[in-house]
Amino acid sequence: MKTAVQAGLVALLAGTTVLAAPAEAATTVQRTAACHADGYSGTFTLRYETDGGYHRMLGGYTTSGPYIGDVAGSVRLQISYRSGTTTRTVYSRSAPTTGSTTFTMPSATTVPVTSAGTAAATFDNGTVSCTATVPIS
């Protein structure tokens, strides 16, 4: 009798036990784009992760010039997305550059996965400029 009761309890517990599904890990994406104007060029790389319905920006870096590190100028980074007919900017920063610049973004810099987002780095050396744009999707 004791064995039958134990077997019944085991069967009852086994029938009601629900295992939690493993949590999905965030997917990290790295995208690079380049631009050129009259021998001057710039490269922009963006890193972001996708999790919980949002793309969260992790950071980015740029390189510019005929040779990396030899052209002083500026770079402007703008991250935005379209929501219906409205474009929303979630991050904008300008910085001087001597060939390379690193951007660290606040953790609240996000783009909804349901929206088309872009990150555009505009390089300017005082004579020419170009824009390198990466999609966020």
How confident is the model over 74-99, as pLDDT tens digits? 999 999 999 999 999 999 999 988 78
Q: Considering the entire predicted model, what is its pTM?
A: 0.77
- pLDDT for residue 55 is more than 90: yes
- pLDDT for residue 7 is more than 70: no
pLDDT of residue 81: 98
The percentage of residues in the chain with a pLDDT greater than 90, rounded to a whole number, is 61
pLDDT of residue 17: 36
Please, what's the b/e burial string for 44-83 (b: 16 or more CB within 10 A of its CB; e: otherwise)? bbbebebbeebbbbbebbbbbbeeeeebebbbebbbbbee
Distance, CA of 40 to CA of 29 (rounded, Å): 27
- pLDDT for residue 11 is more than 80: no
* Average pLDDT of the chain to the nearest whole number: 83
* Extents of the domains making up the chain: 27-136
pLDDT of residue 125: 85
- pLDDT for residue 100 is more than 90: no
| pLDDT (mean) for 3-10 | 44
The DSSP code for 25 is P
111 is written with which tokens?
């783009």
How confident is the model over 12-53, as pLDDT tens digits? 334 433 344 445 678 899 999 999 998 888 999 999 999 999
Has domain 27-136 been given CATH number 1.25.40? no
